[in-house]
Amino acid sequence: MKIRILPSLLAADMGNLAAEARRAQAAGGDELHLDIMDGVFVPNISMGPAVVAMAHQAVSIPLNVHLMLLHPDQYIEAFAAAGAATLLIHIEAECDVPATLARIRARGIHPGITLNPGTPADRIFPVLDAVDEVLCMTVHPGHGGQSFMAEVLPKITAVRRALDARGRTGARVMVDGGIAETTAARCAAAGADSFVAGTTVYHAADMREMVSRLRQTATDAYIDR
């Protein structure tokens, strides 16, 4: 399984988002991660479809869009039109989750499911056949720069095993929150293959070097797990 590193635009210079998106691509980011927050589902407000559309024009790498929205079903078409390659919704959202995932797939976009740190892994098992990606939050969603929550590690393993048991060996397991070299290695050893990194890469002295180091560290740990 190829390791993916996804720089998170939430940690970028908000006054220069197009340039910051291009910087993530130039640094070797596999995809660009965009956090969409509504101020209701999470206690913060961030970006909307216009920022996704801007990023779609600025870079050629896929846009991985995380909808931290109470009602993500109301915004699927807007973010699809803006250029999202993947749309992740939360299992905790107030919508018909299976139907919303099906709508995402019908638009030719990769559907993904996200679960918060306090949500048991088996909550998402009924929809695993409907998704291409599972995001295990390793911090409480809503703000960047939080500390990694090691108690999520067994959940990552449980999700990976559940996917494999269903023959979904190509489905991705992604982590987001407090990802640096040490925590990336721990998550990879637990079964994660995709890593959202915000502060660690955008605030690094050399962004390209940091992306490379994260990828190598995670690759080594994933192979050895």
Mean pLDDT (whole number) for 45-67: 97
Give yes or no for residue 67 having a pLDDT over 90: yes
pLDDT value of residue 224? 75
Residue 176, CA atoms < 13 Å, CB-side half-sphere? 33
pTM over 0.85: yes
- What pLDDT band is residue 147 in, cutting at 50, 70 and 90? confident
Which residue of the set 30, 35, 73, 132 is catalytic? 35
Q: How many CB atoms lie within 10 A of CB 54?
A: 17
Q: Find all residues with CB under 8 Å of 140, minimum gap 6, and list them.
A: 116, 117, 146, 177
Give yes or no for residue 145 having a pLDDT over 70: no
In tens, the pLDDT along 93-131 reads 999 999 999 999 999 999 999 999 999 999 999 999 999
Biggest alpha carbon distance in the chain?
45
Instruction: Please state, in angstroms and rounded to a whole number, the distance separating the CA atoms of residues 36 and 69.
Output: 7
E strands, 116-214, where? Answer: 133-137, 172-176, 194-197
Give yes or no for residue 144 having a pLDDT over 80: no
pLDDT value of residue 75? 97
Give yes or no for residue 146 having a pLDDT over 90: no
- What pLDDT band is residue 183 in, cutting at 50, 70 and 90? very high
| Contact by Cβ (8 Å): 64, 21 | no
Which residue of the set 30, 73, 132, 176 is catalytic? 176
| Residue 35 annotated to the active site | yes
The CATH fold assigned to 4-224 is: TIM Barrel (3.20.20)
Closest CA to 46 of 32, 35, 61, 55: 35
Give yes or no for residue 37 having a pLDDT over 70: yes
Find the angle CA(202)-CA(205)-CA(208) to the nearest 5 degrees: 65
